[in-house]
Structure 1
Amino acid sequence: MTHTYKYPRPAVTVDALILKKTTAEVLLVKRAGKPFKDCWALPGGFVEMDELLEDACLRELKEETGLVLNQVEQFQVYDGLERDPRERILSVVFYGFAEKDAEVKGGDDAAEAAWFKPDELPELAFDHATIIRDFLKRLGQ
């Protein structure tokens, strides 16, 4: 499928907000490349032309952390005009829950992957601190 447009349009990414079921720890990855190299962020990335959003999220989650989930649920779309310094990007955020003993490791363009307590999060890339705060507020935490 090829499209040609005269006007600029945003790119679409997905982010995975994954919590451990019993501890509510948040899964983060340390970015291996620019922008925000060496900063922590939610696992995620660009949607490929031939994949559905949920599939893209599950793929990025596996590639960046080794964690395999069967499904995630859509939370919200983040569309801040300057949320990414590369270009105009809309991010569809999905959430899911992992078992308390879920192990993760950095892969693909993630240098590391680790679990963090919600009240002990490191400085985060993009608008990911806002995303996590919004989600935890919705959960009532």
Structure 2
Amino acid sequence: MGLPKTPVLTTDCVIFDSGGRVLLIRRGHPPYAGSYALPGGFVEIGETVEEACRREALEETGIKVDVLRLVGIYSDPARDPRGHTVSAAYVTILPFAVTPKAGSDAAGAEWVDNWRSVELAFDHAQILGDADALLRAPPR
């Protein structure tokens, strides 16, 4: 199924634990079925992008997130092979790792230590790198 001709709004959630691992899902559907990806998805009518990030994280990993920090807006028209999507990406750090449970359209969910060396779907490697850099930057 393709996306509409106008850009669609999505959200991507970068979730770190206190040890620096990142929570990734395995996509259950095309495109990139079986590939690692950040939890996230489409923003529904009537919800904020922050609410969508929290909802998608809970639906896909079973983990509730609270405090979110904006990483950036990702709008390359070629970032999703289905059509033009614009994503608001957020990052959070959980004080301790909670065991994830895959749900919704995720085929799996797991904490990944070596996230810099795994191949990610879409532009999620860029988003994850930007989130890591944001968290490492000295406060202004």
Q: Same fold (TM over 0.5)?
A: yes
What does residue range 1-141 of structure 1 map to in structure 2 within 5 Å? 8-21=5-18, 23-118=19-114, 120-140=116-136
Check whether the contact 1:31–1:40 (CA below 8 A) recurs between aligned residues.
Answer: yes
- When residues 123 and 50 of structure 1 are mapped into structure 2, their CA distance, relative to the original with a 3 A threshold, is same
Tell me the distance in 1 between the aligned counterparts of 2:71 and 2:116: 22
1:109-138 CA distance string (max 9 Å, x none): 001001112555421000001111122123
Deviates more, 1:114-123 or 1:76-85: 114-123
Contact residue 24 and residue 118 of structure 1 kept, 8 A: no
Q: C-alpha displacement at 1:70, in angstroms?
A: 2.2
Q: Which runs of 5+ in 1 are unaligned?
A: 1-7
Distance 2:49 2:106 in 1: 20
The equivalent of 1:3 in structure 2 is: none
Partner Cα distance (1:112, 1:127) in 2: 19
1: CA distance, partners of 2:117 / 2:99: 18
Aligned-partner SS, 1:56: helix
TM-score (norm 1): 0.88
Question: Between Structure 1 and Structure 2, how many residues are aligned?
Answer: 133
State the identity as a percent.
Answer: 38
Corresponding residue for residue 4 of structure 1: none
Larger Rg computed on CA atoms = 1
Would the alpha carbon gap of residues 77 and 118 (structure 1) be closer, same or farther in structure 2, given more than 3 Å must change?
A: farther
* Separation in structure 2 between the aligned mates of residue 131 and residue 120 of structure 1, nearest angstrom: 12
Q: Is the 8 A contact 2:77 2:83 kept in 1?
A: no
5+ residue gaps, structure 2, are: none
Give the TM-score taking structure 2 as reference length: 0.88
Aligned-partner Cα distance in 2 for 1:46–1:26? 21
C-alpha separation in 1, matches of 2:22 and 2:81: 24
- Greater shift, 126-135 or 27-36, is seen at 126-135
Checking the alignment, whether the CA contact within 8 Å between 1:58 and 1:71 is kept in structure 2 is: no
Change in 2 beyond 3 A, CA 1:55/1:119: closer
